[in-house]
Structure 1
Amino acid sequence: MKEWYLLYCKRGEQKRASAHLENQHVECYYPEIEIEKVLRGKRQRLQEPLFPSYIFIAIEPEKGPSFTTIRSTRGVVDFVRFGAQPYKVPKSLIEHLQSHQIDESDYSNTPESGQMVHITSGQFSGFDAIYQEADGEKRSILLITLINQKVKVKIENTDVDW
């Protein structure tokens, strides 16, 4: 009977580790989510791991491959352990993760250009503004009306309520 284990992988090498493990007939699972990021000034939708640097694997310890073979796989650092033995992940947890579709709209929290937003903190606290565009990953450019004139300001995303 297959048992689920959790592997720790080298940073950013989950796909490589997964490919090499699947070549050894090891069942791999690492949930991914689609997020929206601003890269090089452009908004892009990217797939990122839900648990960076971790992969769930299912193996039959009696049949193989051995723990040593898995630990020696390219991209893998080691099993997650509690004590000397690798931790067995409950099958119910894997089933729960696989059965739940993550609503991607929860992770896309930037408004559309032209949408009204409210500034909740900072020097412009209490002002309503018009969202223009993202300015990197942590700031946005907003239009605020000051003295009957619209002015572009850069505001931290944490200071704005979409």
Structure 2
Amino acid sequence: MKRWFLIYCKRHEQKRAYQNLTNQKVECFYPKILVSSFSDGKAKKSEVPICPSYMFVRFDDEHGKMFSAIRSTRGVVDFIRFGSYPKEVPAALILALKSICSHEGASIEGENEGLEKHSLYSYCDKLGTIVKENNVEHREMMFVRMLSESRC
């Protein structure tokens, strides 16, 4: 059964890790948002990662070799763990992230088969607060804290 996990990437090597993981047929999700900034007196929108050093990966965890293959991938440091085993990320959290990161306002209704809408919208509320945080380090800490408190 495929499950989502969170990995920590080397600083400024997320694109490399993403490319190497997708070459290994590992499903990856690297959430980004649009941010407005001013440069030389001009307003400019750019896409930035919500949490720059983190990426979600989805694979069949029945095969123990995938854990070591992912950890050995260039750009990847390790899995995020709470205890000795990597923390599984709830599917509702991934769907909530996809809905927040969607610039077209795409609906998440089609993907949430078997998920409780209450938990899905609860994650959307929490993520809305995190996304509004301007300081990247605070945003990452809030995100990891939310993940540590979530139940799978």
Distance change >3 Å, CA 65–CA 44, structure 1 → 2 = farther
Query: What count of residue pairs does the alignment treat as equivalent?
Result: 106
Return the letter of the residue paired with 2:7.
Answer: L
Q: Which secondary structure state, in structure 2, belongs to the residue aligned with residue 68 of structure 1?
A: helix
Q: Which secondary structure state, in structure 1, belongs to the residue aligned with residue 17 of structure 2?
A: helix
Alignment of 1:1-162 (within 5 A): 1-39=1-39, 42-63=42-63, 66-101=66-101
Distance change >3 Å, CA 102–CA 95, structure 1 → 2 = closer
Q: Which secondary structure state, in structure 1, belongs to the residue aligned with residue 55 of structure 2?
A: strand
Q: Which secondary structure state, in structure 1, belongs to the residue aligned with residue 61 of structure 2?
A: coil
CA displacement at 1:72 relative to structure 2: 1.0
Aligned-residue CA RMSD (Å): 2.5
Partners of 1:73 and 1:64 in 2: how far apart? Answer: 15
Partners of 2:42 and 2:65 in 1: how far apart? Answer: 44
Contact 2:9–2:76, Cα closer than 8 Å, also in 1: yes
The unaligned stretches of length 5 or more in structure 2 are 105-130, 132-152
Contact 1:36–1:45, Cα closer than 8 Å, also in 2: yes
Return the letter of the residue paired with 2:35.
Answer: I
Distance change >3 Å, CA 57–CA 89, structure 1 → 2 = same
> TM-score normalised to the size of structure 2?
0.61
CA displacement at 1:43 relative to structure 2: 3.8
Q: Provide runs of 4+ in structure 1 moved above 4 Å.
A: 39-42, 101-104
- The structure number with the bigger radius of gyration is 1
The unaligned stretches of length 5 or more in structure 1 are 108-162
Q: Which secondary structure state, in structure 2, belongs to the residue aligned with residue 99 of structure 1?
A: helix
Partners of 1:87 and 1:97 in 2: how far apart? Answer: 17
Question: In the TM superposition, what whole-angstrom CA distance separates every residue of 1:17-52 from its partner, at most 9, and x where no partner exists?
Answer: 111100000000011011122346654321100111
| Corresponding residue of 1:131 | none
Q: Tell me which protein shows more strand as a share of its residues.
A: 1
Partners of 1:58 and 1:65 in 2: how far apart? Answer: 14
CA displacement at 1:14 relative to structure 2: 1.4
Distance change >3 Å, CA 39–CA 20, structure 1 → 2 = farther
The percent identity for this pair of structures is 50
